[in-house]
């Protein structure tokens, strides 16, 4: 967690051990080793959710309206630092941690339907246990470590689930997220699935698909799944594998070229995804189909 001072300008965090980079729109994961540190009052430009993996830290933090409090953090501890809230922090001890930064625009796109809240904001939280957050952050870490075989939609779907959970459990407004019933209208479903089919080789972003229908990400995921029986990332993955099967019967195309034509970032990611859905590698499928 890098605290920013003044007008929340970046101060140059140390290089992480693992980073998701810019694969996912609106969220970014890093895994890093955290040494003792002290930060004067400042703020973060993005919401930050952290999970301690190992080690132990004593963290003293304060923010407007709250006295300085000290927490003892151990493996499994969850920290939540909302964006744009001034706070000061000092830590002692060393630990390995995962942190996920959430862009405010992505957060708003998921929670846009909660319009009945006069104001919706996260609460700072330190040293808590939250199994759901732990599982999501570990799943995102494993995805990034594997080279993002699920593509951007998978990571963004996990990010959407994380934001929805934060709103339900750790926000000032405690209203349940309302479910959009009935799925997508036929014309919208035809439009978005047609776009997906025509652009399988592209980096299809969850936020971009939702914006096409002028829907929040949360409503889009719910409605799309009600209409198709699959969340968007699984639907896209299956369509990519369907296209791959059709291309694999052509011996003139290399597996690497097929991977690119089907929207996979690398042949390795393609092979991993193909085997997950078919239980065979692309090469074995090609040999069996010949």
pLDDT tens digits along 233-288: 989 999 999 999 999 999 899 999 999 999 998 899 899 999 988 999 999 999 88
**Percent of the chain with pLDDT strictly greater than 90:** 48
CB 88: neighbour CB atoms within 10 A? 16
pLDDT of residue 167: 87
In three-state secondary structure terms, 238 is helix
CB 8: neighbour CB atoms within 10 A? 16
First-to-last C-alpha distance (Å) of the chain: 53
Counting Cα atoms < 13 Å in the Cβ hemisphere of 231 gives: 16
Angle at 256 between CA 251 and CA 260, to 5 degrees: 110
Whether the CB-CB separation of 41 and 99 falls below 8 Å is answered with: no
Nearest to 159 by CA among 119, 226, 101, 204: 101
Question: How many angstroms from the chain centroid is the CA of residue 200?
Answer: 20
Burial label, 243 (beta-carbon count in 10 A; 0-12, 13-18, 19+)? middle
**Average pLDDT, whole number, for the chain?**
84
pLDDT in tens, 7-27: 333 333 457 889 998 889 999
CATH superfamily of 18-170: Jelly Rolls (2.60.120.10)
Q: Round to whole Å and give the CA distance between 220 and 226.
A: 10
pLDDT in tens, 115-158: 455 556 788 889 999 999 999 999 999 999 998 888 888 999 99
Helix axes 232-248, 151-170, angle to 10 degrees: 170
pLDDT of residue 203: 86
CA distances from 195 to 56, 198, 200, 204, 242 (A): 49, 5, 9, 10, 16
CB 289: neighbour CB atoms within 10 A? 9
Domain positions in the chain are 18-170, 186-289
pLDDT of residue 13: 47
The topology under which CATH files domain 186-289 is Arc Repressor Mutant, subunit A (1.10.10)
């Amino acid at each position: 967690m890098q605290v920013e001072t003044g007008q929340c300008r970046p101060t140059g965090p140390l290089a992480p051990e693992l980073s998701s980079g810019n694969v996912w729109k609106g969220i970014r994961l890093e895994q890093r080793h955290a040494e003792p540190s002290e930060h004067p009052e400042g703020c973060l430009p993005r919401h930050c959710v952290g999970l301690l993996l190992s080690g132990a830290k004593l963290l003293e933090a304060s923010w407007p309206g709250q006295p300085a409090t000290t927490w003892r953090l151990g493996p499994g501890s969850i920290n939540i630092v909302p964006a744009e809230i001034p706070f000061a922090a000092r830590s002692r001890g060393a630990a390995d941690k995962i942190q996920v930064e959430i862009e405010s625009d992505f957060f708003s796109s998921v929670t846009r339907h909660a319009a009945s809240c006069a104001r919706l904001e996260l609460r700072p939280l330190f040293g808590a246990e939250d199994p759901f957050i732990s599982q999501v952050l570990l799943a995102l870490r494993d995805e990034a470590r594997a080279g993002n075989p699920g593509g951007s939609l998978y990571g963004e779907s996990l990010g959407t689930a994380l934001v929805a959970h934060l709103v339900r459990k750790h926000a000032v407004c405690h209203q349940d997220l309302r479910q959009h019933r009935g799925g997508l209208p036929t014309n919208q479903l035809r439009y978005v699935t047609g776009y997906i089919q025509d652009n399988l080789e592209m980096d299809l972003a969850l936020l971009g698909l939702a914006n096409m229908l002028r829907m929040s990400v949360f409503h889009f995921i719910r409605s799309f799944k009600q209409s198709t029986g699959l969340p968007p990332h699984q639907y896209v993955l299956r369509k990519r594998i369907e296209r791959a099967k059709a291309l694999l019967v052509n011996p003139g195309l290399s597996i690497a070229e097929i991977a690119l034509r089907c929207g996979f970032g690398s042949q390795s990611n393609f092979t991993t995804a193909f085997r997950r859905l078919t239980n065979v590698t692309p090469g074995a499928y090609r040999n069996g189909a010949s």
